[in-house]
Amino acid sequence: MSTLADVARLAGVGVGTASRAISGKGYVDDATRRRVLDAAGELGYRRNAAARALRERRSLVVGLMLPDIHNEFYTASAAVLQAELADAGYQLLVVATGNSADAERHAWETMLDRQVDGVVHVPVDPGGVAPPGLPVVQLNRHTGTAGTPAVVSDDVAGVAELTRHVIAAGHTDLAVLVGAPELSTSAERLAGFRTAADAAGLAEDGPRGARYRVLVTGFSADGGAAAMARTAGDLPGAVVALSSRLVMGVLRWAGEHEVRIPADLSLAGLGDPEWFAIWQPGITTFAPPLAEMGRRAAHELIAAMGEEPGPAGGTIRLPGELRIRGSVTGAVPARP
């Protein structure tokens, strides 16, 4: 049976480096870590997880608290997160909070009952507090809690770029669909939209002409459709829907009311599920770096759970990508 020393010898590193690379405790650069893991795979080396957990008084389980386990926005990050944690020897315990503050509080109790070593957390309650002493990294949303690192998309810059693209197509009558304002994602996405709209001289809630309207609703297809119903008789030239579920709601409402996209209404979104490219002529969107967010969150949590000093807190903002498709075209004459 191969030993850790055998792995270190094949990888050309010291036993301590090999141990850190395999356990995820302490810093090892990515190239060295990959070399050690490849050597471990070649030799068929497998750690005794039970012995390690007993020796270190760890469960080797990490919690993941998500609002919605069916939302591709979270599953894309979670898949990479799980793979990175598995490479470091951790299993993942997933709990859905359903965007409920009460469910979130119960989820924290579950994490403590299961004695997880750390948690990656998509916050639901901006005023919620994690159990003291438990390593936590926030993902996608953040609460600004001192000492708690967060990994998020740079939505301010991304949505501003998306909105500038819509305006550059000739649109001066816009509506933006956004979720609950107390969530960091809503606040930052709306800030990005306003940055571009205000710079273009559009007036919030102005009369017909150079204007924009902010429609606050739930981050769901039903929320998107309900928000569009509020534009009845005064349809904007373009809608910026700040989640993929909101985009779905706009499309549903448009189909029910014989509004053609993009002939009658241009549409821009956020996120990039597969169907955004399959639906024709395709949804123009700002795509957050979901896979990279999951990878970075895993690395931040592994560092926080290790013996070496972990992250100092603060928010890590990762740039996304504007993906231009056919749902945004030039402005059409206003309906009489």
Amino acid 332: pLDDT: 61
**DSSP run (H or E) holding 203:** strand 203-204
**Angle, helix 290-305 to helix 72-87, in steps of 10 degrees:** 40
| CB neighbour burial string for 40-65, b if at least 16 within 10 angstroms, e if fewer | beebebeeeeeeebeeeebbbbbbbb
Amino acid 54: pLDDT: 44
Amino acid 240: pLDDT: 99
Domain 155-287, CATH class in plain words:
alpha beta
Neighbours of 159 (CB within 10 A): 29
Amino acid 25: pLDDT: 64
Q: Is 49 helix (H, G, I), strand (E, B) or coil?
A: helix
85: Cα separation from own chain's centroid: 17
Please state, in angstroms and rounded to a whole number, the distance separating the CA atoms of residues 198 and 23: 50
**Phi and psi torsions of 63, nearest 5°:** -90, 150
* Residues 292 and 246: beta-carbon distance below 8 Å: no
CA-CA-CA-CA torsion sign (17, 18, 21, 25): negative
**Residue in this structure with the two tokens 């993902």, named with its chain if needed:** 139
Query: Comparing 4-47 with 155-287, is the CATH topology the same?
Result: no
User: How confident is the prediction along the chain (336 residues), in pLDDT tens digits per residue?
Assistant: 577 778 888 999 987 788 778 776 667 888 898 898 888 888 877 665 444 544 456 778 999 999 988 888 888 999 999 999 988 889 999 999 988 999 999 999 999 998 999 999 999 998 888 888 899 999 999 988 777 899 999 999 999 999 999 999 999 999 999 999 999 999 999 999 999 999 999 999 887 789 999 999 998 999 999 999 999 889 999 999 999 999 999 999 999 999 999 999 999 999 999 999 999 999 999 999 999 999 999 999 988 887 445 555 689 999 999 999 999 998 765 544
Amino acid 52: pLDDT: 52
Please state, in angstroms and rounded to a whole number, the distance separating the CA atoms of residues 240 and 245: 12
Residue ranges per structural domain of the chain: 4-47, 61-153+290-320, 155-287
**DSSP run (H or E) holding 120:** strand 118-121
**Phi and psi torsions of 314, nearest 5°:** 95, 170
**Phi and psi torsions of 330, nearest 5°:** -60, 155
One-letter amino acid identity for 182? E
One-letter amino acid identity for 7? V
pTM: 0.80
CATH number of 4-47: 1.10.260.40
Q: Any alpha helices (H) in 61-145, and if so which ranges?
A: 72-87, 101-113
Structure tokens at 319: 């740039």
Burial of 17 (0-12, 13-18, 19+ CB in 10 A): buried
| 61-153+290-320: in CATH 3.40.50.2300 | yes
Angle at the Cα of 254 (from 252 to 257), degrees rounded to 5? 110
Residues found in the chain: 336
